[in-house]
Amino acid sequence: MRFQKHVIRSRSFSGCRTFMDGAAANKFVRDRGLDHAVEREKNLRSLLGVKNLIKSEPSKSLPITIISQHRDSLKIPCRPIEFIRKYPSVFQEFLPGGIGIHPHIKLTPEVLDIDAEEHLVYQSDSYKQLVADRLLKLLMISKMNKIPIGILDLLKWDLGLPQNYLKTLVPNFPDYFRLVGAEDSGQLELVCWSDKLAVSVLEKKAMEETESRFSKGMPIAFPVKFSKGFEMDKKLKKWWDDWQKLPYVSPYENAVHLLPKSDESDKWAAAVLHEILNLFVAKKAARDDVLCLGEYLGIRSRFKRVVLHHPYIFYISSKNTTYTVVLKEAYKRGLLTESNPLMVIRNRYIHLMHTTVRENGKDISIPSGSNQEKEEGGGGAAADDSEEENDLSSSDSNDLSSSDSDADSNDEDDGYQGGHETVAAVSRRRTNKRTNVNLKAPETGGGGVSRRRTNTRTNADFKSHSGNVKGESPPHGSRNVHRKSQQKRRSTLRDRSTRS
């Protein structure tokens, strides 16, 4: 058994924070391409969980009551029967023998075909080697060279691990890692350090570009992508250029010699998070899962600072009712630039989820982005965008000095207030529409009496919904005066015609 001997290098500079210490967070700018990349996987994880649960049964079907019992573990966002009926291209509902009290659910032939291809991917030797390398690199990043099974289960989706990886994957690589303890409460421990794999993605790129000039600890700049509309002032630009020129400390190197609140420490934390996101198949993960791993590594607060201070490297999306950390350089126009066999399979599942099934000439599925899904999200698109931008710019900046529970409660309060504003806006639009109809209403036999009642009700509606500001004349006031003069003129003409 051999482990890497970390060398503590001396630094010729102080390493103190130069600009970002106590500075306000960068203004959040929405990236719609990355938001789409996150949103398109909505309900995919829950759907595959239900699929695997049904497939595990010998009869390849399950009563809806059993699925309801696993609702929390499968993270089904609504009633299980509604979730099943939302994707008729994946699930089929039937009554066994025609006399079943509760409906049973089985899988469609189309999803079974994709499942068979997914099984082949997991069983291939090339994919097993890729997954084993990811686990080994993650163990080498850990200071203790071991990770609890609970955290690995939390990151199983992001790492692309098979369902029973402790039985099918771990025993096949005894020179990489081993299981210590029970399967539910044990740890995965590193067996042998690999100098070949202990090289980060940025170091590999620097080796290819500089060739013989590369050396450990040399300055390596992070690739950045600025979202449309992002602006950087001169002071921030200067700090960013100096930060990029700092020595690059590898995430596989022990960084205990770095000051916790220094720019060099932040760059090392950015390197660790950058390498971890590169280990994930989709180059993104839920913020809570990332912070959970960061807490085990002992750098949870540094992860928070890095994500907040470097929005041109990492992006936070608030889609799918959670926060997701995305590696910006891994995406182009909302699509992954790196090909991955498991992501190809997941994209096929997403396409099948939104495939419309026709029975008796009628569509029985809801495609992605339909009006019903938008209504379930609450409010209009513009309202959601503004509320989420405010949540990200305000709550995350406070999140550096407060607990996660406080930040979550602030997010919920902001969303609750935004919902009231949306309802008020809808009611005002409906009131204005009714007001215009009343103004254009035809005159009845009562003449001036009906018009006066209409005008009175119109002004009362406007006052009740919008409120008059002191010193301002009510809208359509000149129109009411003009109508009174018309009434007087018509009555005079009517009297003259009677006399004649």
For the ranges 216-220, 374-378, 477-481, the lowest mean pLDDT is seen at 374-378
Q: Are 379 and 284 within 8 A, CB to CB?
A: no
CA distances from 204 to 198, 332, 429, 437 (A): 10, 21, 58, 69
Find how far residue 222's CA is from the centre of its chain: 23
325 and 195 within one domain = yes
Given a contact cutoff of 8 angstroms between Cβ atoms, the answer to whether 335 and 37 are in contact is yes
Clarify whether residues 330 and 470 are in a common domain: no
Give the C-alpha separation, 367 to 445, whole Å. Answer: 52
Rounded mean pLDDT of 426-449? Answer: 43
pLDDT tens digits, one per residue of 175-226 = 999 999 888 889 999 999 999 999 999 999 988 887 767 778 788 999 988 7
Query: Do 195 and 310 share a domain, yes or no?
Result: yes
Please determine, for residue 422, whether its predicted confidence score (pLDDT) is greater than 90: no
Q: How far is CA 411 from CA 78, 302, 324, 396, in A?
A: 21, 22, 15, 10
Of the candidates 145, 155, 152, 149, the residue with the CA atom closest to the CA atom of residue 185: 149
Please tell me whether residues 331 and 468 are part of one structural domain.
no
Residues 324 and 472 in one domain: no
Q: Has this prediction a pTM greater than 0.75?
A: no
Least confident of 131-140, 174-183, 339-348, 423-432: 423-432
pLDDT tens digits for range 47-58: 999 999 999 999
Residue partners of 435: CB distance under 8 A and separation at least 6? 458, 461, 462
SS percent in the chain: helix, strand, coil, step 5: 55, 10, 35
Within this chain, do residues 150 and 267 fall inside the same structural domain, yes or no? yes
Give the residue among 328, 321, 316 at the shortest CA–CA distance from 397. Answer: 316
> Stretch 158-165: mean pLDDT, rounded?
93
Mean pLDDT of 271-286: 96
20 pLDDT higher than 90:
no
Please, which pLDDT band fits residue 304 given cuts at 50, 70 and 90?
very high
- 409 lies in some domain: no
Mapping DSSP to helix (H, G, I), strand (E, B) and coil, where does residue 205 land? helix
Residue 364, in any domain of the structure: no
Q: Is residue 16 part of a domain?
A: yes
Arithmetic mean of pLDDT, 167-173: 93
Domain-embedded: residue 448: yes
Q: Which residues of 449-478 are buried (b: 16+ CB within 10 A; e: fewer)?
A: eebeebbeebbeebeebeeeeeeeeeebee
List phi, psi (to 5°) of 355: -80, 130
* 447 & 333 share domain: no
What's the pLDDT score for residue 483? 63
Kindly state whether residue 193 falls inside one of the protein's structural domains: yes
Cβ burial of 290 (10 Å; 0-12, 13-18, 19+) is buried
User: How confident is residue 498, by pLDDT bands cut at 50, 70 and 90?
Assistant: low
Q: Does residue 379 form part of some domain?
A: no
Instruction: Write down which residue in 337, 367, 400 finishes a domain.
Output: 337
Question: What confidence score (pLDDT) does residue 180 get?
Answer: 93
CA separation, residue 272 to residues 63, 162, 181, 201, 308 (Å): 45, 25, 28, 11, 15
Q: Does residue 269 lie in a domain region?
A: yes
Q: What is the CA radius of gyration of the chain?
A: 31
Give backbone dihedrals phi and psi of 327, rounded to 5 degrees, phi first. -80, 110
Q: Looking at per-residue confidence, does 295 or 375 come out higher?
A: 295
Whether 448 and 329 share a structural domain: no
List 188's β-bridge partners, or say none.
147, 179
Q: Over range 262-267, report the average pLDDT.
A: 90
Pick the more confident residue, 484 or 420.
Answer: 484
Mean pLDDT of 11-35: 61
Q: Is the pLDDT of residue 163 over 80?
A: yes
Residues 141 and 264 reside in one and the same domain: yes
Structure confidence at residue 96 (pLDDT): 82
Pairing, β 335-336 against β 331-332: antiparallel
Residue 351 lies in a domain: no
Number of domains in the chain: 2
| pLDDT tens column, 383-398 | 444 444 444 544 444 4
Mean pLDDT of the chain: 76
CA distances from 208 to 219, 309, 328, 403 (A): 15, 29, 22, 42
Last residue of a domain, one of 337, 359, 379: 337
| Owning domain of residue 160 | 1-30+124-337
Q: Mean pLDDT check: name the lowest of 113-127, 131-145, 233-247, 355-369.
A: 355-369
Residue 10 is predicted with a pLDDT of 36
User: Which pLDDT does position 64 carry in this prediction?
Assistant: 92
Examine the fold and report which residue of 292, 320, 337 is the final residue of a domain before the chain moves on.
337
